[in-house]
Amino acid sequence: MGDMNAPTAPMAVGEVARLTGVTVRTLHHYDALGLLRLSGRSDAGYRLYSSADVARLGRVVALRRMRIALRDIPGLLDADPATLRAALLRRRDELRAEARGMEATVRLITRALEEDDMTTPATREDLAEIFGDGFDDAQAEAAARWGRTRAWQESQRRTAAYTRADWEAIKAEADANVAAFLDAMTAGTPPEGPAAMRAAEDHRAHVDRRFFACDHALQRNLADLYDSDPRYAVAYDGTHPGLSAYVTAAMRANAARATG
């Protein structure tokens, strides 16, 4: 990461702000957080930045441009190359997943702008177009198996008024979630790793927000359901064998983390 073409003579905070494009207020904030270790002060008591200070600031600025949280930056500034590379690979995967989600959202907004009526509940034809021709059969089978449960009844109540745009948003969220699990798995992250459990928590929150109340205890039960129903393995594995088992292991790990 760059060194901001750091000069050799000590610089005052205003000069550093002009050189780097970082505001004086932000520089003071970085100082307060301990991100910079200033070399000294002038006779008048003003902060002075050495060439090493400015070079370190350059690394801070580069990491912030990657949208890395301030709390995570101290551990990366002096990290060895392998640790830094691993952190940047994780951040790249996170940003790719976010980008896919944003692209899906843009498509949904575009579709909504083209719709004449955004309040009409989705039709069976809409759902078949969004989820595929087998959607009706899957719904009928699920109703026969789970229709008497409280979760199914709550889901039916919530989704009865969902519009086509709502279902497209749900599909986009689900696709982005599967992609996040796949990214974590292909990166070699174990199911109990941060990226996998983050995807598992997003999955739980998606179910809770869109369909029925889903706490972490129920998430563990969902993992058992996924393992017992071959349809889930078919849906998740596809061209990526092992993904369904990875997903359920991450769900259980996330539930265990939350419930102890």
Domain boundaries, the chain: 11-77, 81-259
How far is 128 from 235, CA to CA, in rounded Å?
A: 16
pTM here is 0.57
Q: How far is CA 162 from CA 84, 109, 135, 159, 203, in A?
A: 44, 16, 16, 5, 19
| pLDDT of the residue at 237 | 79
Mapped onto helix, strand or coil, the DSSP state of residue 34 is: coil
Residue 107's pLDDT is 79
Nearest alpha-carbon partner for 176 in 104, 88, 250 = 104
Residue 6: per-residue pLDDT? 47
The closest of 40, 17, 41 to 28, measured between CA atoms, is 17
Quote the CA–CA distance of 199 and 181 in Å, as a whole number.
Answer: 6
162-196 core/surface letters (b: 16 or more CB in 10 A; e: else): bbbbbbbbbebbeebbbbbbbbbbeeebebebebb
Which residues share a beta bridge with 11? 49
In this predicted structure, what is the pLDDT of residue 118?
62
What pLDDT shows up at residue 49? 85
What does the block give as tokens for 107? Answer: 């498509």
The DSSP letter of residue 68 is: -
Is domain 11-77 classified as CATH 3.20.20.70? no
CA 219 to chain centre: 19
How many alpha carbons lie under 13 Å from residue 205 in its C-beta half-sphere?
A: 9
**Residue 255: how many other CB atoms lie within 10 Å:** 23
Which amino acid would we find at residue 103? E
Considering the segment(s) 81-259 as one domain, its CATH architecture is: Orthogonal Bundle (1.10)
Per-residue confidence (pLDDT) for residue 116, from 0 to 100: 54
Q: Give alpha helix (H) positions in the chain.
A: 13-20, 24-33, 51-65, 74-77, 81-114, 124-131, 135-146, 150-159, 164-186, 194-210, 216-228, 230-237, 243-259
Q: How many CB atoms lie within 10 A of CB 75?
A: 11
pLDDT tens, N- to C-terminus, the chain (260 residues): 554 454 467 788 888 888 888 888 888 888 888 887 776 776 676 778 888 888 888 899 999 989 888 888 988 988 999 999 999 998 898 888 888 888 877 877 777 776 655 678 888 888 888 888 777 666 777 777 777 888 889 999 999 999 888 999 999 999 999 999 999 999 999 999 999 999 999 999 999 999 999 999 999 999 998 888 887 788 787 778 899 999 999 999 999 998 76
